[in-house]
Amino acid sequence: MGLADLHIHSTFSDGVATVEAILYHASAHTDLDVVAITDHNTLAGALLALELAGDFRVRVIPGMEVTTTEGDLLALYITEPVAAGMTFVDTARRVREIGGLPIAPHPLDILARGVGARRLRRIQNEHPGLIAGIEVINGSLLTPVGNRRAENLRWELGLPGVGGSDAHMLEDVGVARTVFPGRTADDLRAALENGEVSPAAKKRDSDYYRRSAMRFALRMGLGFAHALENRAGEERIRMRRVP
Ligand SMILES: [Zn+2]
């Protein structure tokens, strides 16, 4: 079986790791086979990742996280950008037109950037086959409640469930993953289309809560997060200086 992280942010949007660092880290320090670079409203990071992919072990899926008027949409397997600001359905249609797979990320996100259960039920009812899957394990949620509800919704709607870290920092890459038969990006696409994927979470280490607070800070604005990180760094330096 292969392992993929379908939701990673780089410095091309609000992530703090470069595309090169993500590919190196995923190749050298994780068991992932495939990663998707999915920056907010830009495909530039994903295209760079595709260019660099030959130098690394992990395979790359180009993608982006598009801001729609009804929450975020994860567009995978696209090689041209999709415009922000359209409805969820129009965005998903556009993604299909250019050969991509539209996924609903963190649909029940407590910070309200998900499309929401009611809308997703309506979309699945009125446009069956449009949505390729639901992210049921999102690595960045502060509580497991949103993930649990998303898992229930996926069974109700009969949609494939995937896992993505939503990593904004290197150490989070791979904390949530998608298991699929095969190893390559093409194998994963076939598995998504045949509903042969399953979500999985990696066990949290003891440092999880500090990082979780950092992630929250990141989503609230980079400046505050950097301040937190720098203060932690200064404290470490200070501690080292104690004779
Ligand atoms: Zn995201």
Ion ligand 1 residue ranges (Cβ < 5 Å): 65, 166
**What's the CA-to-centroid distance between 14 and ligand 1, angstroms?**
9
Question: What CATH superfamily is the domain 2-203?
Answer: Metal-dependent hydrolases (3.20.20.140)
Give mean pLDDT, residues 36-50: 98
Indicate whether 139 pLDDT > 70: yes
Q: Return mean pLDDT, the chain.
A: 89
Q: From the CA of 231, how far away is ligand 1's center (Å)?
A: 25
CA of 27 to the centre of ligand 1 (A): 21
Distance between Cα 71 and ligand 1 center (Å): 11
Could you read off the pLDDT of 58-108 as tens digits, one per residue? 999 999 999 999 999 999 999 999 999 999 999 999 999 999 999 999 999
10 Å Cβ neighbour count for 236?
Answer: 10
Q: Poorest-confidence range of 43-47, 122-126, 201-205, 226-230? A: 226-230
Ranked by mean pLDDT, the top range of 111-125, 175-189, 227-241 is 175-189
For residue 109, name the pLDDT band (cuts at 50, 70, 90).
confident
pLDDT of the residue at 111: 74
Record the pTM.
0.84
Instruction: Using DSSP, state whether 116 is helix, strand or coil.
Output: coil
Q: Look at residue 219 in the predicted model and tell me its pLDDT.
A: 67
Positions of E strands within the chain: 2-8, 34-40, 59-68, 71-76, 101-104, 133-138, 161-164, 176-180, 198-201
- The full set of domain ranges for the chain reads 2-203, 206-243
